[in-house]
Structure 1
């Protein structure tokens, strides 16, 4: 029987890395069925981040694109380090340009994943509607089970 494939979407937030750690603790123990893990970071296109046009825009977009690539590479590198800490092997990482909702659903199809894991930013209904919830989109459109991992609230001091 082939190993099952789990896909997790990561961004540079602590919510994302919490979801990764949670998943590693719950699915990658010594007695668990072996899984292949695919870590995917969706790099937004520079034009979606910077809404400028006119003279000078062509000079700014390549610089912004380079910064977005660095963020993506740093993000997947940190995710790899977390996997090493948890002694998890069979890890593939990808930085894919595009809208995170589509990138995650496409990764599920590409890798024939049986589970997609995404973190939740806990934005709430109003802010989530304005920003567009990646987790809600994936829950409705991914062709596999979707697990949304919420980071517990920080205790009041």
Structure 2
């Protein structure tokens, strides 16, 4: 009886300029048992909306300025993703990059659905309870709203060994 080959997987990894993103990608590369040349990492970066003060009296920002600012943000996002893409390509994994504009919580969920992802890997910045309450946690939002499994990679505490809890 011939073994059936598993279909290629698509794993979304949320990337920003935090160490949590670096740890999330590293976790995915080390733990997801990705198959070179078959599985795809989809790197997603979210840039915030342009802060256009058009609603305040005396301020006007043209549509052209908003579009130019949006393009600058997209360019910055793709530039950031290039170094992460190189890490994927070192392991001969297929890699796609996407830059979204908007709220990171919504953008990551949307990108994962568009990519038909099998899983999403996000870093956790470890914000305190108050900041999480006010701003909301991107990782928690994704865990509750993405239709596929979400892996939240907690920050690695420097100087502390990795620990595992035995399962009885």
Q: Pick the TM interval, shorter chain.
A: 0.7 to 0.9
What is the rounded CA distance, in whole Å, between the counterparts of 1:121 and 1:81 in structure 2? 23
Q: Which moved more, 1:21-30 or 1:117-126?
A: 21-30
After TM superposition, the score normalised by the length of structure 1 is 0.82
Please name the residue that 1:111 is paired with.
Answer: 115
User: How many pairs are equivalent?
Assistant: 152
For 1:101, which of 102, 105, 123 is the aligned residue? 105
For 1:80, which of 81, 85, 97 is the aligned residue? 85
The structure with the largest alpha-carbon Rg is 2
Please show how residues 1-157 of structure 1 align to structure 2 within 5 Å.
1-28=6-33, 34-47=38-51, 53-58=56-61, 61=66, 64-85=69-90, 87-155=91-159
Deviation of 1:28 after TM superposition, in Å, equals 4.2
Return 5+ residue gaps in structure 2 as ranges: 1-5, 161-168
Deviation of 1:148 after TM superposition, in Å, equals 0.2
What is the rounded CA distance, in whole Å, between the counterparts of 1:140 and 1:92 in structure 2? 25
Return 5+ residue gaps in structure 1 as ranges: none
Deviations 1:59-95 (A, max 9, x none): 675664354223312221121122133x132111111
